[in-house]
Protein backbone atom coordinates (compact mmCIF):
# COMPACT_ATOMS: atom_id res chain seq x y z
CA UNK A 1 0.00 0.00 0.00
CA UNK A 2 1.35 3.39 -1.00
CA UNK A 3 0.82 6.27 1.39
CA UNK A 4 -1.77 8.75 0.08
CA UNK A 5 -0.21 11.39 -2.17
CA UNK A 6 0.09 14.85 -0.73
CA UNK A 7 -2.16 17.18 -2.64
CA UNK A 8 -0.51 19.99 -4.62
CA UNK A 9 -0.57 23.30 -2.78
CA UNK A 10 -1.10 25.44 -5.90
CA UNK A 11 -4.22 23.46 -6.78
CA UNK A 12 -5.49 23.21 -3.23
CA UNK A 13 -5.52 26.99 -2.99
CA UNK A 14 -8.25 27.03 -5.62
CA UNK A 15 -10.59 24.95 -3.47
CA UNK A 16 -12.91 26.33 -0.84
CA UNK A 17 -11.31 26.31 2.62
CA UNK A 18 -12.10 23.11 4.47
CA UNK A 19 -14.83 23.57 6.97
CA UNK A 20 -14.54 22.64 10.57
CA UNK A 21 -17.36 20.61 12.06
CA UNK A 22 -18.50 23.60 14.09
CA UNK A 23 -18.94 25.75 11.00
CA UNK A 24 -22.55 25.17 10.07
CA UNK A 25 -22.72 27.00 6.74
CA UNK A 26 -24.84 24.98 4.34
CA UNK A 27 -24.22 25.30 0.63
CA UNK A 28 -26.23 23.61 -2.10
CA UNK A 29 -26.33 23.85 -5.85
CA UNK A 30 -28.44 23.18 -8.89
CA UNK A 31 -26.37 22.03 -11.85
CA UNK A 32 -28.35 21.52 -15.07
CA UNK A 33 -26.84 20.80 -18.48
CA UNK A 34 -27.78 23.40 -21.10
CA UNK A 35 -29.00 20.82 -23.58
CA UNK A 36 -32.52 22.24 -23.81
CA UNK A 37 -35.16 23.83 -21.60
CA UNK A 38 -35.64 22.56 -18.06
CA UNK A 39 -38.33 19.91 -17.73
CA UNK A 40 -40.51 19.24 -14.71
CA UNK A 41 -38.07 16.68 -13.34
CA UNK A 42 -35.23 19.24 -13.36
CA UNK A 43 -37.45 21.89 -11.79
CA UNK A 44 -38.61 19.57 -9.04
CA UNK A 45 -35.00 18.78 -8.18
CA UNK A 46 -34.16 22.50 -8.25
CA UNK A 47 -37.01 23.25 -5.83
CA UNK A 48 -35.97 20.39 -3.50
CA UNK A 49 -32.37 21.60 -3.43
CA UNK A 50 -33.41 25.24 -2.95
CA UNK A 51 -35.73 24.45 -0.02
CA UNK A 52 -33.20 22.10 1.54
CA UNK A 53 -30.54 24.81 1.90
CA UNK A 54 -32.71 27.91 2.27
CA UNK A 55 -34.58 26.41 5.20
CA UNK A 56 -31.26 26.37 6.99
CA UNK A 57 -30.26 29.84 5.77
CA UNK A 58 -27.78 28.25 3.40
CA UNK A 59 -26.29 29.40 0.12
CA UNK A 60 -27.72 28.15 -3.16
CA UNK A 61 -25.56 28.25 -6.29
CA UNK A 62 -26.42 27.81 -9.95
CA UNK A 63 -23.85 25.91 -11.97
CA UNK A 64 -24.18 25.15 -15.67
CA UNK A 65 -22.66 21.82 -16.68
CA UNK A 66 -21.66 22.88 -20.17
CA UNK A 67 -18.49 20.84 -20.68
CA UNK A 68 -20.01 18.73 -23.43
CA UNK A 69 -20.01 21.62 -25.87
CA UNK A 70 -21.50 19.81 -28.88
CA UNK A 71 -24.65 19.07 -26.84
CA UNK A 72 -25.05 22.67 -25.61
CA UNK A 73 -28.08 24.36 -27.16
CA UNK A 74 -27.84 28.05 -28.02
CA UNK A 75 -30.01 30.10 -25.68
CA UNK A 76 -30.42 27.30 -23.15
CA UNK A 77 -28.28 28.94 -20.45
CA UNK A 78 -30.35 32.11 -20.58
CA UNK A 79 -33.61 30.15 -20.64
CA UNK A 80 -32.60 28.17 -17.53
CA UNK A 81 -32.00 31.39 -15.62
CA UNK A 82 -35.29 32.89 -16.79
CA UNK A 83 -37.25 29.81 -15.77
CA UNK A 84 -35.70 29.74 -12.29
CA UNK A 85 -36.33 33.47 -11.77
CA UNK A 86 -39.93 33.17 -12.96
CA UNK A 87 -40.51 30.53 -10.28
CA UNK A 88 -38.78 32.60 -7.59
CA UNK A 89 -35.79 30.25 -7.28
CA UNK A 90 -33.04 32.83 -6.99
CA UNK A 91 -29.45 31.74 -6.61
CA UNK A 92 -26.50 33.38 -4.86
CA UNK A 93 -23.49 34.82 -6.64
CA UNK A 94 -22.63 34.61 -10.32
CA UNK A 95 -23.71 31.71 -12.52
CA UNK A 96 -20.85 29.18 -12.59
CA UNK A 97 -19.97 27.85 -16.04
CA UNK A 98 -17.98 24.61 -16.07
CA UNK A 99 -16.63 25.44 -19.53
CA UNK A 100 -14.65 28.27 -17.91
CA UNK A 101 -12.85 25.83 -15.59
CA UNK A 102 -11.46 23.55 -18.26
CA UNK A 103 -7.81 24.50 -17.75
CA UNK A 104 -8.21 23.98 -14.02
CA UNK A 105 -9.64 20.47 -14.49
CA UNK A 106 -6.75 19.58 -16.78
CA UNK A 107 -4.24 20.74 -14.14
CA UNK A 108 -5.81 18.26 -11.75
CA UNK A 109 -5.73 15.53 -14.40
CA UNK A 110 -2.01 16.18 -15.00
CA UNK A 111 -1.30 16.00 -11.31
CA UNK A 112 -3.28 12.77 -10.88
CA UNK A 113 -1.42 11.27 -13.81
CA UNK A 114 1.98 12.31 -12.48
CA UNK A 115 1.12 10.69 -9.16
CA UNK A 116 0.40 7.44 -10.97
CA UNK A 117 -3.25 7.58 -9.96
CA UNK A 118 -4.55 7.29 -13.53
CA UNK A 119 -4.10 4.59 -16.12
CA UNK A 120 -5.06 4.53 -19.79
CA UNK A 121 -7.91 2.21 -20.72
CA UNK A 122 -8.71 1.18 -24.27
CA UNK A 123 -11.75 -0.94 -23.49
CA UNK A 124 -14.73 -0.11 -25.65
CA UNK A 125 -18.30 0.13 -24.46
CA UNK A 126 -18.87 -3.25 -26.02
CA UNK A 127 -15.91 -4.79 -24.14
CA UNK A 128 -17.56 -3.76 -20.88
CA UNK A 129 -21.19 -4.46 -21.76
CA UNK A 130 -23.14 -6.23 -19.04
CA UNK A 131 -20.50 -5.67 -16.32
CA UNK A 132 -21.67 -3.98 -13.12
CA UNK A 133 -18.31 -2.24 -12.76
CA UNK A 134 -14.99 -1.97 -14.53
CA UNK A 135 -13.07 -5.22 -13.96
CA UNK A 136 -9.61 -3.58 -14.04
CA UNK A 137 -8.69 -4.98 -17.46
CA UNK A 138 -6.12 -2.29 -18.36
CA UNK A 139 -4.79 -1.65 -14.85
CA UNK A 140 -1.52 -3.48 -15.40
CA UNK A 141 -0.99 -2.02 -18.86
CA UNK A 142 -2.85 -4.95 -20.41
CA UNK A 143 -2.38 -4.86 -24.15
CA UNK A 144 -5.60 -6.50 -25.20
CA UNK A 145 -7.67 -6.09 -28.33
CA UNK A 146 -8.30 -2.35 -27.92
CA UNK A 147 -4.55 -1.70 -27.71
CA UNK A 148 -3.84 -3.62 -30.87
CA UNK A 149 -6.41 -1.52 -32.67
CA UNK A 150 -4.75 1.70 -31.53
CA UNK A 151 -7.94 3.07 -29.99
CA UNK A 152 -7.51 6.36 -28.13
CA UNK A 153 -7.58 5.68 -24.41
CA UNK A 154 -9.79 7.05 -21.71
CA UNK A 155 -8.00 7.65 -18.41
CA UNK A 156 -9.29 5.90 -15.33
CA UNK A 157 -8.70 6.57 -11.68
CA UNK A 158 -6.90 3.70 -9.97
CA UNK A 159 -9.46 3.19 -7.24
CA UNK A 160 -8.00 1.18 -4.32
CA UNK A 161 -9.23 -2.40 -4.10
CA UNK A 162 -10.41 -1.76 -0.56
CA UNK A 163 -12.52 1.22 -1.74
CA UNK A 164 -15.72 1.00 0.30
CA UNK A 165 -17.93 2.52 -2.42
CA UNK A 166 -17.62 -0.26 -4.98
CA UNK A 167 -17.33 2.17 -7.88
CA UNK A 168 -14.58 0.37 -9.81
CA UNK A 169 -11.97 2.47 -11.63
CA UNK A 170 -13.79 5.66 -12.59
CA UNK A 171 -13.17 7.33 -15.99
CA UNK A 172 -11.85 10.86 -15.34
CA UNK A 173 -10.84 11.74 -18.88
CA UNK A 174 -12.91 10.47 -21.74
CA UNK A 175 -11.40 8.92 -24.86
CA UNK A 176 -12.60 11.96 -26.85
CA UNK A 177 -10.46 14.20 -24.63
CA UNK A 178 -13.32 15.70 -22.60
CA UNK A 179 -12.95 15.90 -18.84
CA UNK A 180 -15.39 13.34 -17.44
CA UNK A 181 -18.45 14.56 -15.57
CA UNK A 182 -17.43 12.68 -12.40
CA UNK A 183 -14.20 14.67 -12.05
CA UNK A 184 -15.59 18.06 -13.04
CA UNK A 185 -18.54 17.82 -10.68
CA UNK A 186 -16.41 16.73 -7.71
CA UNK A 187 -13.86 19.50 -8.29
CA UNK A 188 -16.55 22.14 -8.65
CA UNK A 189 -18.34 20.95 -5.53
CA UNK A 190 -15.05 21.32 -3.67
CA UNK A 191 -14.30 24.67 -5.24
CA UNK A 192 -17.65 26.05 -4.10
CA UNK A 193 -17.68 24.37 -0.70
CA UNK A 194 -20.89 22.46 -1.50
CA UNK A 195 -22.13 20.61 1.58
CA UNK A 196 -25.41 19.21 0.25
CA UNK A 197 -26.23 17.79 -3.15
CA UNK A 198 -29.85 17.13 -4.09
CA UNK A 199 -30.55 15.31 -7.31
CA UNK A 200 -33.06 13.03 -8.95
CA UNK A 201 -33.40 9.45 -7.78
CA UNK A 202 -32.25 8.34 -11.24
CA UNK A 203 -28.72 9.67 -10.57
CA UNK A 204 -28.08 7.52 -7.50
CA UNK A 205 -25.58 5.39 -9.39
CA UNK A 206 -23.17 8.31 -9.82
CA UNK A 207 -22.71 8.60 -6.06
CA UNK A 208 -20.22 5.72 -5.65
CA UNK A 209 -17.98 7.04 -8.42
CA UNK A 210 -18.00 10.54 -6.96
CA UNK A 211 -17.31 9.28 -3.46
CA UNK A 212 -14.25 7.45 -4.80
CA UNK A 213 -13.00 10.67 -6.40
CA UNK A 214 -13.56 12.68 -3.20
CA UNK A 215 -11.64 9.97 -1.31
CA UNK A 216 -8.62 10.18 -3.64
CA UNK A 217 -8.62 13.97 -3.21
CA UNK A 218 -8.73 13.37 0.56
CA UNK A 219 -11.76 15.61 0.78
CA UNK A 220 -15.04 15.00 2.57
CA UNK A 221 -17.93 14.27 0.21
CA UNK A 222 -21.08 16.38 0.55
CA UNK A 223 -24.25 14.81 1.87
CA UNK A 224 -26.20 13.36 -1.05
CA UNK A 225 -30.00 13.62 -1.02
CA UNK A 226 -32.35 12.20 -3.64
CA UNK A 227 -35.52 13.87 -4.81
CA UNK A 228 -38.37 11.63 -5.96
CA UNK A 229 -39.00 11.39 -9.68
CA UNK A 230 -41.90 13.39 -11.08
CA UNK A 231 -45.29 11.76 -10.46
CA UNK A 232 -48.74 12.63 -11.74
CA UNK A 233 -51.79 13.37 -9.57
CA UNK A 234 -52.48 9.65 -9.16
CA UNK A 235 -48.94 9.05 -7.86
CA UNK A 236 -47.86 7.27 -11.04
CA UNK A 237 -44.46 7.90 -12.52
CA UNK A 238 -44.83 10.19 -15.51
CA UNK A 239 -43.98 8.85 -18.92
CA UNK A 240 -40.77 10.06 -20.52
CA UNK A 241 -42.81 12.25 -22.85
CA UNK A 242 -44.76 13.97 -20.05
CA UNK A 243 -41.64 14.39 -17.97
CA UNK A 244 -40.04 16.31 -20.75
CA UNK A 245 -42.78 18.94 -20.53
CA UNK A 246 -41.22 22.30 -19.82
CA UNK A 247 -42.59 25.44 -18.26
CA UNK A 248 -43.74 26.78 -21.57
CA UNK A 249 -46.31 24.00 -22.00
CA UNK A 250 -47.68 24.69 -18.52
CA UNK A 251 -47.87 28.43 -19.15
CA UNK A 252 -49.69 27.74 -22.42
CA UNK A 253 -52.21 25.71 -20.40
CA UNK A 254 -52.83 28.84 -18.28
CA UNK A 255 -50.65 27.97 -15.25
CA UNK A 256 -48.92 30.75 -13.33
CA UNK A 257 -45.85 30.46 -11.09
CA UNK A 258 -47.98 29.61 -8.02
CA UNK A 259 -49.63 26.71 -9.86
CA UNK A 260 -46.28 25.37 -11.00
CA UNK A 261 -44.59 25.64 -7.59
CA UNK A 262 -47.66 23.93 -6.08
CA UNK A 263 -47.37 21.15 -8.63
CA UNK A 264 -43.64 20.68 -8.00
CA UNK A 265 -44.16 20.76 -4.22
CA UNK A 266 -46.90 18.14 -4.57
CA UNK A 267 -44.40 15.99 -6.45
CA UNK A 268 -42.07 16.28 -3.47
CA UNK A 269 -44.87 15.28 -1.11
CA UNK A 270 -44.95 18.71 0.58
CA UNK A 271 -48.50 19.85 -0.23
CA UNK A 272 -51.82 18.28 -1.29
CA UNK A 273 -52.66 18.03 -4.97
CA UNK A 274 -53.99 21.25 -6.47
CA UNK A 275 -52.24 23.58 -3.98
CA UNK A 276 -51.14 26.98 -5.25
CA UNK A 277 -48.19 28.37 -3.34
CA UNK A 278 -45.04 30.44 -3.63
CA UNK A 279 -41.51 29.43 -2.76
CA UNK A 280 -41.67 31.77 0.24
CA UNK A 281 -44.84 30.07 1.52
CA UNK A 282 -43.07 26.72 1.32
CA UNK A 283 -40.14 28.12 3.29
CA UNK A 284 -42.48 29.53 5.93
CA UNK A 285 -44.28 26.22 6.47
- Site residues, Zn ion (CB under 5 A): 121, 123, 137-138
Question: C-beta of 148: minimal distance to Zn ion in Å?
Answer: 13
Nearest to 29 by CA among 213, 179, 186, 228: 186
- Name the strand (E) or helix (H) holding 53: helix 40-54
Shortest CB 172 distance to Zn ion, Å: 13
Nearer residue to Zn ion within complex by CB, 86 or 145: 145
Q: Smallest distance from the beta carbon of 135 to Zn ion, in angstroms?
A: 8
Nearer to Zn ion, 131 or 283 (CB): 131
The CB-of-137 to Zn ion minimum distance in angstroms stands at 4
Nearer to Zn ion, 121 or 282 (CB): 121
Nearest to 48 by CA among 66, 60, 63: 60
Nearer to Zn ion, 116 or 274 (CB): 116
CB of 119 to Zn ion, least distance (A): 8
Between residues 121 and 198, which has the closer beta carbon with respect to Zn ion?
A: 121
**Closest CA relative to residue 274, chosen from 223, 266, 282:** 266
Q: Shortest gap between Cβ of 61 and Zn ion (angstroms)?
A: 35
Burial 28-59 (b: 16+ CB within 10 A, else e): bbbbbbbebbbbbbbbbbbbbbbbbbbeeebb
Amino acid sequence: MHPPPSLPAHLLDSLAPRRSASDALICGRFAPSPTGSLHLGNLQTALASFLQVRRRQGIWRLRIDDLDTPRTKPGAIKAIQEDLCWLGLEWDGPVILQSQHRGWYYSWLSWLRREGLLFPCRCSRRDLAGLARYPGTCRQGDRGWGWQQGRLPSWRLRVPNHDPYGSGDVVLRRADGFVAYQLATVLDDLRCGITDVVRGEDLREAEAAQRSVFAVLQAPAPTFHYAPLVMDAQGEKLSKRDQSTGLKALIDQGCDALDVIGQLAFGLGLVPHGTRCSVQELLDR
